[in-house]
Amino acid sequence: MRRRYPSKIHSHNSINSLLISSTMKINLKHSLRPQSSHDMELSLKFKTNVLSAIVILGMLSLRVAECGLQSKELTYQAINCRKHTAVLTDFGAVGDGKTLNTKVFNAAIRNLSRYALDGGAQLIVPPGRWLTGSFNLTSHFTLFIEKGAVILGTQDESQWPPLPVLPSYGRGRDAPGGRLSALIFGTNLTDVVITGNNGTIDGQGATWWTKYRAKEYNVTRPYLIELMYSNQIQISDLTLLDSPSWFVHPIYSSNIIVKGLTIIASIYSANTDGVDPDSCSNVRIEDCYIVSGDDCISLKSGWDQYGYKVGIPTQHLIIRRVTCISPFSALIALGSEMSGGIQDVRAEDITAIDTESAVRVKTALGRGGYVKDIYVRRMTLKNMKYAFWMAGNYNQHPDPNFDLKAIPEIKGINYRDVVATNVTFAGRLDGITGDPFTGICISNVTMTMNLEEKKLPWNCTDIAGVTSKVTPKPCASLPEKQGVNCAFPTDRLPIEDVQLKTCSSAHK
C-alpha cells in the first residue's frame, strides 16, 4: 500500500530540532561571557537576526514538508468506492513503453485481492506507457487509468495465454482452435470497475489484423476487455484504441454499465466491434463515441447449436446517447450469433454517421433462438447505405452440424422518430421463407434519399408489419396505418436506476 512519507515528516522535525538546538547553544555561549553594554547591544542584534533566520528557515522547512506530502487527488464516479489504494509503480512497473509489465500487473492485482472483504482496493495506473500482456482482475476492485497513462498491449504473442473455447460458440470465433486471453480479463468476479479520467488502453491491433487476414492464426485473436460469469461491472471514462479483435466483451454476466467510452479503430480494421454484450442481462450503454471496422455495438447470445444448448439470452438493455461511425457495418447489430435469444432492448438518442446501417437484425436458418421486443426511438442518421436492414440469410456457421430445423423467431421490432439524410436505401428487409419476420413497426420517419441512386428505396421479402408517417413510402408488406406510434416502454429497467457514487483517492 502507499507509504505516508514518514521520512519527509521526520526531516521537517529534524530541521526544527537543529535550529532550536543551535539557538540554545548560541544563547548559552553568550550568557557565559561578561556582558558590557556594547556586548549586550551586539548580542541583542545577533539574537534578533538568529530568531529571524529561525522563523524563515522554519517556514521554508514547513513548505518543503508540505511539498513532500502533497498528493494528487482523484475524484471519479463508480458503482462502489474502495478503502485501499496502491499505485502500479509501487510494484516495480516501468512506464517507458518498452519494459514488459505483465508480471507486475498480475502481481499487483493478486496482492490487492486480499482486501476484497475489507472495503476493496484500487490500482492506480499513473501517466506513462505501460507495456503488458494479458492480466487478470479480481473482485471488489477498481483499475483506474489516469490521464496521460497508456496501457499498451504487447505484440509478443507468448504474453497472451490460451483459453478454452466459449461453450456457447463451440469453437473459436476466428478459427476452429481455441482463443487467446483478453488484454484485461476476469472470470467469476463481483463488483469490478475499469475507469479513469480519460486514460487509454491501446491494443496495438494492426499486426493482429494483418496476420488474421493472411490466415496465419488457428486460434481466435484476443479481445481488449473480457469479463465472464461476472456481476456488477463498470467500464467507463476511457479511450480504447486498436483492439486486436472486439473491444469490450462481457459474456455470461449481468448488471453492467458501459459509459463514457471513446472507442477508435481504423474503419478498415478486422472485426473490431466496439461493445458486445454476449448472453448478458441488465446492461446500460451510454455516452459513447465509437469508430470501428465492424459493428459499433453488437448484441450476441451464442452460435447455432452451441448457443441454444447453453441458452443464456441477452436481455434488458438500455442503449442511449451513442454515436457511431462504421462504413462497413452497423450502429447496433442484433446477432448474428443470437441463438440463446435477444429480448427487451431499448435504444434512444443514437446517431450514426457514414455508417452502413443503423439497427440491423442478422440471423439465418440453423441459428434457432429469437430476437424480439426491440425498441428504437430518436435516431439520427447521416450518409447511410441502409436506414433499416434485416437479414435472414447471414449464413456463417461454426461447423456443418447445425440444424436447419432450428428456425429463429424474429418479431416485435419497433422504430420511431427517425431522421435520416443522404440515404442510399431506405430499407432492405429480408426474412426467411416460411419463417417471416413479424410485428415490425416503423413510425414518424423522414428520410432524404441520395438522388444519384436510381434504385427502389425499399426491398422487402418475408416480413410483415405496419408503418405510419414514413417517407419515402415503404413496401407493400409494411402498409400505412394512420395513428400508429410504435411502442417504446414506459417502465425503467433496474440498471437505469443504479446510481454511481462519488469516489476520491489521494496518492503521490
Active-site residue, selected from the candidate residues 191, 276, 278, 294: 294
From the number of C-beta atoms within 10 Å of its C-beta (0-12, 13-18, 19+), residue 423 rates as buried
Angle between helices 37-69 and 6-32 (to 10 degrees): 180
Q: Find the length of the chain.
A: 508
CA distance 309 to 339: 9
The grid coordinates of residue 370 equal: 429469437
CA angle centred on 439, ends 254 and 333, rounded to 5°: 45
Q: What is the DSSP string of 33-80?
A: S---HHHHHHHHHHHHHHHHHHHHHHHHHHHHHHHHH--EEEEEEESS
184-187 and 149-153 as β-strands: parallel, antiparallel, unpaired?
unpaired
Q: Measured between alpha carbons, how far is residue 19 from residues 15, 23, 24, 51 in Å?
A: 6, 6, 9, 9
Residues 6+ apart with CB under 8 A from 40: none
The answer for 316, left when phi > 0, alpha when psi is -120 to 50, beta otherwise, is left
Q: Which of 317, 335, 324, 322 is nearest to 357 (CA)?
A: 324
CA distance 105 to 94: 11
The grid coordinates of residue 442 equal: 416503423
Residue with cell 479520467: 197
Contact call for residues 109 and 135 (beta carbons, < 8 A): yes
3-class SS of residue 409 = strand
Contact call for residues 177 and 219 (beta carbons, < 8 A): yes
CA distance 374 to 394: 19
CA distance 347 to 298: 13
Q: Measured between alpha carbons, how far is residue 476 from residues 87, 462, 473 in Å?
A: 63, 11, 9
Which DSSP state fits 30? H
Q: 502: which strand partners?
A: 77
- Asked if 278 is an active-site residue, the reply is no
Just list the catalytic residues: 294
